[in-house]
């Protein structure tokens, strides 16, 4: 057992935890923070996406002990115009991938602003193709992709950042 | 689950308006709680051990190492698990028997019937411990010969019994002779692979016993069926089973039956006396929840020189498991789509030593329309005809197979509107004629079709003195927007603001709903809402007429309008609050409970009188890289005839979702089964390729919005029609782009090189 401390959604948490426990299981099963979802437990679907010190990560592929001292933001700690935009654009149906989509989109927008390129980056700005490429790690089986891209375009376009 | 509608100053009518999802705020803030997110003190975690052979017996099972792991509570195997009562056999007199997903009595037998069958469950204090200990359970088997290779076994297929209520066979005229005599014909063989649902929420059960009372948090598409099934398996009254299922993280047919996970979770909780959570791994879902059957299909079409069809033959071979599964109506849509004097439709199947097949979005029709609509397109090529013109020419006036009239049929209008809006007239009819750099660009169309059905659903409406209306129905929310659309209907029927409607759903304590299967739920529950509203208004009028001085005295309900939270006549009316207050009541309730027998009788009569279905025209544009064979869907338009659309916002999403799953089937999805071992080789989202953001362009959907005269509010279910025809539209667009007809799904780039 290892004692770790994390700041989760603004509140300090300490946990006695085995090294094999994933960050996702630590959040969901130990801390009762169930916003991040388990869809595959192998980094293939993105439903577990959280922000660790502002960067998007798959919490299922992260061991909790690696995040000792980190600031973790899950959907419960998000207060962002994207959330309202997802409702307006109907960017979900069942809602299971939604927390991951939103956290991923927030991380993606910061990556884009920091000048990180993607496989389709050209000088054309943050268009639909760029968003689709950068969001392709987040699977939505209900097929709400159009609404998700619309919500992100809406927020990224209207945001002065 | 209880949701209050957002405050709004809007007034009726709400049906037809793009109301935002009522559960939207909960879903974008992490507040929506799914089955695996309900915590109990003292809760234990379970992990399954899966068989690694396809058929045989367990010779020995050694659990010592697993039991020795600290914090392991129990390891249950066929040697020590409490036996469940065997699964009931399918009976048409009790449709809940459809919930019996397999006939295997898990952990009560040493027999193995499929590779992946659960043979033990470990219960431990933590998930990590349970999973680790499960890996230490040591099994040896006496293997028996297993038949698992569908392609090899398909020639031995035997005629199949149709699925109840969903006929797929037909024989009319002399199809073989007409085909031989036809001046133009096609005769093609198709194949489609198995598919898995891959809802992003894996099946997960949290099971809690209190004496002989069982409470389950479980993602369910059919709460009444599952409840009855569990009661039978555990020998307790139905009332002793409570299923709580307010949010289902996608299902697509995969959560409509009692698969091993829920049963073993309940068994493990009873055996250990602890609340137990059994959350399946993604591979665990593949190994314990069935999927869509693979198929081989033959479609042969004959036509005269003008393009009038003279023969239609559509046959299929599919598979079931030896321990369960059922016919999927692969040739069913071919009963309804083309005016042909000579028709032969039949289905055969093989039984394999694999997990049962099961309902997956438009079972049968999704893959059957791939074959039929590809063949129609190929016939158009052979004849040098426009594929839309060929379809228009053969559009039937009555049901081609059964001769009944259609309640509603607007395929011609759908094609006309779609062709115009998609720019079909700009299509160069030659194959490979349009090129954009390395990309060959092609356009294809195909017809979508899914039957429209209903099942009985009970609904209770309670009107409170403050004017709020509570709708109670144990319906299911898997993303369709169930509560939202029913709240719209309640608001209109009762003439109250949407904000005054509360909807309770997703709980077996509520009046039983129709299952969220076969695209039936919305129309079925709407019928219940309409009936309960009428009962409630009648009761209100009775109350009002008793009160001296009521302006409603002597009025008949038929002469009144429900609006402004009251019953009104041009000469005066009363609000509900006034009626209740005058009668000294703080609420009034109406409960509609349909009789199953009456319902079935009505359905049997109706099916002889007419044929009802949702249909549509799917338009696809693809770009195929001439050098690499890479295929990208670049544009889509689906124009649907789905009757009245209750909520354009949620309806568009549901239709798009169907189209996207169809694009997956067309281009990337397949469950790979090892032909030697019967083991699924790609039980993961990294190797089973569902469409991702980058695969999906803007999907345009449109509908004609003409009500069907025979359905509640004129609506059709729309959960499944969206996927039908999609794979064919893609294949037909690829045919146009490249000149190549691909008859085997998925259409991967190697098939174009």
Is residue B303 predicted with pLDDT exceeding 70?
yes
Three state DSSP letters for A37-74: CCCCCCCCCCCCEEEECCEEEEHHHCEHHHHCCCEEEC
Q: Which residues contact B623 (CB under 8 A, 6 or more apart)?
A: B436, B439, B440, B441, B631, B632, B634, B737
Give B327-363 pLDDT, tens digit per residue: 999 999 999 999 999 999 999 999 999 999 999 999 9
C-alpha count within 13 angstroms, C-beta hemisphere, residue B679: 9
Mean pLDDT of B408-418: 97
How high is the pLDDT of residue B711?
Answer: 95
How high is the pLDDT of residue B1?
Answer: 46
Q: Which of B129, B249, B661 is the best residue to mutate to test the A interface, defined by the most A CB atoms within 10 Å of its own CB? A: B249
Contact A37 B39 (CB under 8 A): no
Is residue B284 predicted with pLDDT exceeding 60?
yes
Based on the residue annotation, tell me whether B706 is a catalytic residue of this protein: no
Give A129-147 pLDDT, tens digit per residue: 999 999 999 999 999 999 9
Gap between the Cα atoms of B434 and B178, Å rounded? 37
Mean pLDDT of A37-53: 98
Distance from CA of B697 to the nearest CA of A (A): 8
Span of B415-424, B548-557, B736-745 with lowest mean pLDDT: B548-557
Which phi and psi (to 5°) does residue B649 adopt? -70, -50
3-state SS class at B615: strand
Confidence of residue B734 (pLDDT cuts 50, 70, 90): very high
For the sheet containing A55-58, what is the strand order?
A: A11-17, A2-8, A71-73, A49-52, A55-58
Tokens linked to A105: 């989109």
Nearest-CB residue to B200 (from A28, A47, A149) = A47
Mean pLDDT of B688-698: 98
Mean pLDDT of B261-285: 98
Mean pLDDT of all residues in chain A? 95
For residue B275, give the nearest of B210, B197, B364 by alpha carbon.
Answer: B210
| DSSP code for A26 | I
Considering the domain B364-453+606-752 in this protein, what is its CATH number? 3.30.365.10
Q: Could you tell me the residue ranges of all domains in chain B?
A: 2-32+457-594, 37-145+197-288, 364-453+606-752
User: Which residues of A fall within a CB distance of 8 Å from B201?
Assistant: 37, 39, 94, 96
User: Which residues of B fall within a CB distance of 8 Å from A32?
Assistant: 39
Q: Is A56 on the interface with B (CB under 8 A)?
A: no
Alpha carbon of B93 to those of B59, B164, B394, B691: distances in Å? 40, 11, 39, 40
Q: Is A93 on the interface with B (CB under 8 A)?
A: yes
Give B699-717 pLDDT, tens digit per residue: 999 999 999 999 999 999 9
| DSSP code for B643 | B
Gap between the Cα atoms of A138 and A39, Å rounded? 10
- Yes or no: say if B662 and B478 are a contact pair by the CB < 8 Å rule: no
How high is the pLDDT of residue B597?
Answer: 85
Contact A83 B699 (CB under 8 A): no
Give B286-302 pLDDT, tens digit per residue: 999 999 999 999 999 99
How high is the pLDDT of residue B333?
Answer: 97
- Yes or no: say if B547 and B583 are a contact pair by the CB < 8 Å rule: yes
Distance from CA of A43 to the nearest CA of B (A): 8
Q: Does domain A2-76 have CATH number 3.10.20.30?
A: yes
Contact B696 A41 (CB under 8 A): no
Let me know how long chain A is.
Answer: 161
Distance from chain centroid for Cα B70: 43
For residue B399, give the nearest of B610, B170, B164 by alpha carbon.
Answer: B610
- Yes or no: say if B575 and B611 are a contact pair by the CB < 8 Å rule: no
Nearest-CB residue to A74 (from B30, B685, B694) = B30
Asked if the peptide bond before residue B682 counts as cis, ω within 30 degrees of 0, the response is no
Is residue B3 predicted with pLDDT exceeding 60?
no
Class of domain B37-145+197-288: alpha beta
Query: Which residue matches tokens 């197979």?
Result: B401
Three state DSSP letters for B477-530: CCCCCHHHHHHHHHHHHHCCCHHHEEEECCECCCCCCCCCCCCCHHHHHHHHHH
Three state DSSP letters for B389-423: HHHHHCCCCECCCCCCEECCCCHHHHHHHHHHHHC
Q: Is the ipTM of this complex over 0.95?
A: yes
Nearest-CB residue to B128 (from A21, A44, A47) = A21
Residue B484's closest chain A neighbor by CA?
Answer: A93
Mean pLDDT of B89-108: 94
Is residue B736 predicted with pLDDT exceeding 80?
yes
Is residue A160 predicted with pLDDT exceeding 60?
no
Distance from CA of B334 to the nearest CA of A (A): 27
Contact B250 A94 (CB under 8 A): yes
Is residue B478 predicted with pLDDT exceeding 90?
yes
Residue A82's closest chain B neighbor by CA?
Answer: B28
Question: What are the residues facing A14 on neighbouring strands?
Answer: A5
Residue A22's closest chain B neighbor by CA?
Answer: B128
Let me know how long chain B is.
Answer: 753
Contact B30 A35 (CB under 8 A): yes
For residue B312, give the nearest of B362, B373, B363 by alpha carbon.
Answer: B373
Is residue B379 predicted with pLDDT exceeding 80?
yes
Gap between the Cα atoms of B371 and B743, Å rounded? 8
Mean pLDDT of A1-16: 97
Where are the CATH 3.10.20.30 domain residues in chain A?
2-76
For residue A141, give the nearest of B459, B150, B285 by alpha carbon.
Answer: B285
How high is the pLDDT of residue B4?
Answer: 44
Give B154-179 pLDDT, tens digit per residue: 999 999 987 666 788 999 999 999 99
Where are the CATH 1.10.150.120 domain residues in chain A?
81-158
The DSSP-derived string for B26-41 is HHHTT----GGG---T
The DSSP-derived string for B205-229 is EEEEEETTEEEEE---S-HHHHHHH
Size of interface A-B (CB pairs under 8 A): 174
Gap between the Cα atoms of B114 and B280, Å rounded? 17
Is residue B720 predicted with pLDDT exceeding 90?
yes
Q: Is A46 on the interface with B (CB under 8 A)?
A: no
Secondary-structure breakdown of chain A: helix, strand, coil percentages, each rounded to the nearest 5: 40, 15, 45
Contact B30 A136 (CB under 8 A): no
Asked if the peptide bond before residue A88 counts as cis, ω within 30 degrees of 0, the response is no
Confidence of residue B523 (pLDDT cuts 50, 70, 90): very high
Three state DSSP letters for B139-158: EEEEECCCCCCHHHHHHHCE
User: Which residues of A fall within a CB distance of 8 Å from B685?
Assistant: 39-40, 42, 44-45, 139
Query: In this structure, which CATH number among 3.40.190.10, 3.30.870.10, 3.30.365.10, 2.20.25.90 belongs to the domain B2-32+457-594?
Result: 3.30.365.10
User: Sign (positive/negative) of CA torsion B421, B425, B429, B433?
Assistant: negative
Query: Which residue matches tokens 């049963």?
Result: B263
Nearest-CB residue to A39 (from B23, B200, B698) = B200
Span of B2-16, B110-124, B700-714 with lowest mean pLDDT: B2-16
Give the number of other CB atoms < 10 A from CB of residue B236.
Answer: 16
Contact B282 A136 (CB under 8 A): no
Residue B476's closest chain A neighbor by CA?
Answer: A94
Residue B414 sits at the vertex; the CA angle it makes with B408 and B418, to the nearest 5 degrees, is 170
The DSSP-derived string for A97-116 is SHHHHHHHHHHHHHHHHTT-
Q: Which of A58, A90, A136 is the best residue to mutate to test the B interface, defined by the most B CB atoms within 10 Å of its own CB? A: A90
Is residue B376 predicted with pLDDT exceeding 60?
yes
Contact B692 A139 (CB under 8 A): yes
Gap between the Cα atoms of B221 and B210, Å rounded? 25
Contact B690 A28 (CB under 8 A): no
Return residues 96-125 of A near B (CB < 8 Å).
96-99, 102
Tokens linked to B331: 């040739």
Confidence of residue B197 (pLDDT cuts 50, 70, 90): very high
Contact B249 A95 (CB under 8 A): yes
Residue B650's closest chain A neighbor by CA?
Answer: A90
Gap between the Cα atoms of B236 and B218, Å rounded? 18
Is residue B145 predicted with pLDDT exceeding 70?
yes
How high is the pLDDT of residue B92?
Answer: 82
Confidence of residue A69 (pLDDT cuts 50, 70, 90): very high
Residue B634's closest chain A neighbor by CA?
Answer: A129
Is residue B85 predicted with pLDDT exceeding 50?
yes
DSSP H/E element including B448: strand B439-451
Which phi and psi (to 5°) does residue B666 adopt? -70, -40
Distance from CA of B42 to the nearest CA of A (A): 13
Contact B200 A140 (CB under 8 A): yes
User: Which residues of B fall within a CB distance of 8 Å from A42?
Assistant: 282, 684-686
Distance from CA of A5 to the nearest CA of B (A): 20
Is residue B454 predicted with pLDDT exceeding 70?
yes
Alpha carbon of B602 to those of B515, B544, B595, B596, B609: distances in Å? 19, 34, 11, 10, 11
- Yes or no: say if B496 and B568 are a contact pair by the CB < 8 Å rule: no
Gap between the Cα atoms of B353 and B371, Å rounded? 26
For residue B342, give the nearest of B393, B390, B300 by alpha carbon.
Answer: B300
Q: Is A73 on the interface with B (CB under 8 A)?
A: no
Contact B282 A42 (CB under 8 A): yes
Contact A143 B657 (CB under 8 A): yes
- Yes or no: say if A102 and A82 are a contact pair by the CB < 8 Å rule: yes
Fold exhibited by the domain A81-158: DNA polymerase; domain 1 (1.10.150)
Give the number of other CB atoms < 10 A from CB of residue B485.
Answer: 27
Q: Which of B18, B19, B26, B27 is the best residue to mutate to test the A interface, defined by the most A CB atoms within 10 Å of its own CB? A: B27
Gap between the Cα atoms of B493 and B538, Å rounded? 12
Give B129-143 pLDDT, tens digit per residue: 999 999 999 999 999
Contact B659 A143 (CB under 8 A): yes
User: Which residues of B fall within a CB distance of 8 Å from A104?
Assistant: none
**B248-277: b (≥16 Cβ within 10 Å) or e:** bbbbbbbbbbbbbbbbbbbbbbbbbebbbb
How high is the pLDDT of residue B700?
Answer: 98
Gap between the Cα atoms of A125 and A153, Å rounded? 11
Q: Which residues contact B324 (CB under 8 A, 6 or more apart)?
A: B100, B101, B102, B103, B290, B355, B356
Tokens linked to B79: 């040697």
Contact A29 B279 (CB under 8 A): no
User: Which residues of B fall within a CB distance of 8 Å from A76?
Assistant: 29-31
Is residue B371 predicted with pLDDT exceeding 60?
yes
Residue A128's closest chain B neighbor by CA?
Answer: B697
Q: Is A2 on the interface with B (CB under 8 A)?
A: no
Contact B128 A86 (CB under 8 A): no
| DSSP code for B195 | B
- Yes or no: say if B698 and B633 are a contact pair by the CB < 8 Å rule: no
Distance from CA of B479 to the nearest CA of A (A): 4
In chain B the first and final C-alpha atoms are separated, in Å, by 53
3-state SS class at B747: coil
């Amino acid at each position: 057992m290892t004692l770790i401390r994390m700041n989760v959604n603004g509140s300090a948490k300490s946990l006695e935890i085995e090294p094999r426990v994933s960050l996702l299981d630590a959040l969901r099963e130990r801390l009762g923070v169930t916003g991040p979802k388990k869809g595959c437990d192998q980094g293939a679907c993105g439903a577990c996406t959280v922000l660790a010190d502002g960067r998007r990560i798959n919490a299922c592929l992260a061991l909790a002990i690696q995040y000792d001292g980190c600031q973790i933001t899950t959907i419960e700690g998000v207060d962002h115009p994207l959330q309202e935009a997802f409702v307006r654009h109907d960017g979900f149906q069942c809602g299971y991938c939604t927390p991951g989509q939103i956290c991923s989109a927030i991380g993606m927008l910061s990556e884009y602003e920091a000048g990180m390129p993607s496989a389709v980056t050209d000088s054309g700005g943050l268009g639909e193709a760029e968003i689709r490429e950068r969001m392709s790690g987040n699977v939505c089986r209900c097929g709400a992709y159009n609404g998700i891209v619309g919500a992100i375009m809406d927020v990224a376009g209207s945001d002065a950042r | 689950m209880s949701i209050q509608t957002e405050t709004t100053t809007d007034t009726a009518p709400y049906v037809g308006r793009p109301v935002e999802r009522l559960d939207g705020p909960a879903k974008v803030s992490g507040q929506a709680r799914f089955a695996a997110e309900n915590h109990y003190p003292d809760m234990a975690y379970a992990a399954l051990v899966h068989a690694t052979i396809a058929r045989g017996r367990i010779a020995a099972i050694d659990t010592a190492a697993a039991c020795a792991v600290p914090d392991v509570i129990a390891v249950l195997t066929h040697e020590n698990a409490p036996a469940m009562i065997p699964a009931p056999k399918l009976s048409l007199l009790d449709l809940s028997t459809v919930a019996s997903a397999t006939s295997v009595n898990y952990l009560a037998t040493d027999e193995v019937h499929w590779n992946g069958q659960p043979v033990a469950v470990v219960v431990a204090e933590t998930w990590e411990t349970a999973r680790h200990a499960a890996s230490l359970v040591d099994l040896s088997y006496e293997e028996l010969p297993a038949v698992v290779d569908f392609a090899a076994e398909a020639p031995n297929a035997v005629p199949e019994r149709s699925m109840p209520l969903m006929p797929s066979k037909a024989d009319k005229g002399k199809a073989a002779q007409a085909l031989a005599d036809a001046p133009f014909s096609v005769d093609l063989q198709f194949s489609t692979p198995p598919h898995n649902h891959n809802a992003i929420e894996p099946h997960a059960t949290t099971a809690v016993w209190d004496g002989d009372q069982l409470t389950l948090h479980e993602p369910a598409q059919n709460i009444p069926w599952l409840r009855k099934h569990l009661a039978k398996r555990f020998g307790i009254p139905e009332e002793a089973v409570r299923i709580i299922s307010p949010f289902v993280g996608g299902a697509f047919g995969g959560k409509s039956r009692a698969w091993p996970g829920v049963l073993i979770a309940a068994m493990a909780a009873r055996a250990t006396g602890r609340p137990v959570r059994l959350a399946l791994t993604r591979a665990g879902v593949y190994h314990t929840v069935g999927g869509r059957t693979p198929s081989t299909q033959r479609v042969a079409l004959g036509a005269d020189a003008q393009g009038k069809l003279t023969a239609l033959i559509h046959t299929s071979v599919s598979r079931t498991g030896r321990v369960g599964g059922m016919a999927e109506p692969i040739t069913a849509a071919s009963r309804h789509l083309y005016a042909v004097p000579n028709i032969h439709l039949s289905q055969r199947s093989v039984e394999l030593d694999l997990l049962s097949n099961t309902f997956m979005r438009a079972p049968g029709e999704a893959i059957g329309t791939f074959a039929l609509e590809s063949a129609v397109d190929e016939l158009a090529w052979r004849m040098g005809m426009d594929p839309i013109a060929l379809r228009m020419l053969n559009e039937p006036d009555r049901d081609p197979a059964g001769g009944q009239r259609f309640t509603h049929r607007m395929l011609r209008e759908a094609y006309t509107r779609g062709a115009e809006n998609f720019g079909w007239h700009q299509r160069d009819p030659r194959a490979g004629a349009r090129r954009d750099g390395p990309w060959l660009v092609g356009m294809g169309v195909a017809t979508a079709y899914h039957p429209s059905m209903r099942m009985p659903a009970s609904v209770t409406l309670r009107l409170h003195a403050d004017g709020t209306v509570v709708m109670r129905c144990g319906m299911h929310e898997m993303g369709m927007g169930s509560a939202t659309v029913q709240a719209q209907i309640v608001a209109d029927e009762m003439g109250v603001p949407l904000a005054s409607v509360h909807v309770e759903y997703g709980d077996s304590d509520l009046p039983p709903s129709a299952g969220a299967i076969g695209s039936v739920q919305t129309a079925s529950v709407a019928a219940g809402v309409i009936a309960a509203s009428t009962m409630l208004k009648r009761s209100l009028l009775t109350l009002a007429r008793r009160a001296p001085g009521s302006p409603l005295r002597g009025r008949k309900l038929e002469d009144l309008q429900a609006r402004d939270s009251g019953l009104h006549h041009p000469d005066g009316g009363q609000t509900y609050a006034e009626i209740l207050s005058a009668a000294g009541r703080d609420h009034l309730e109406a409960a509609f409970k349909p009789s199953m027998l009456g319902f079935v009788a009505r359905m049997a009569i109706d099916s002889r009188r007419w044929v009802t279905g949702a249909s549509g025209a799917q338009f696809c544009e693809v770009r195929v890289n001439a050098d690499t064979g890479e295929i990208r869907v670049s544009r889509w338009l689906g124009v649907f005839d789905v009757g009245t659309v209750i909520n354009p916002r949620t309806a568009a999403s549901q239709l798009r979702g169907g189209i996207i799953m169809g694009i997956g089937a067309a281009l990337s999805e397949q469950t790979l089964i090892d032909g030697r071992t019967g083991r699924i080789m790609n039980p993961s989202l990294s190797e089973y390729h569902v469409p991702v953001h980058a695969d999906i362009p803007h999907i345009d959907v449109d509908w004609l919005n003409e009500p069907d005269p025979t359905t509640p509010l004129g609506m059709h279910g729309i959960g499944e029609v969206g996927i039908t025809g999609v794979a064919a539209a893609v294949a037909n667009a690829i045919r146009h782009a490249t000149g190549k007809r691909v008859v085997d799904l998925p259409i991967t780039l190697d098939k174009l090189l």
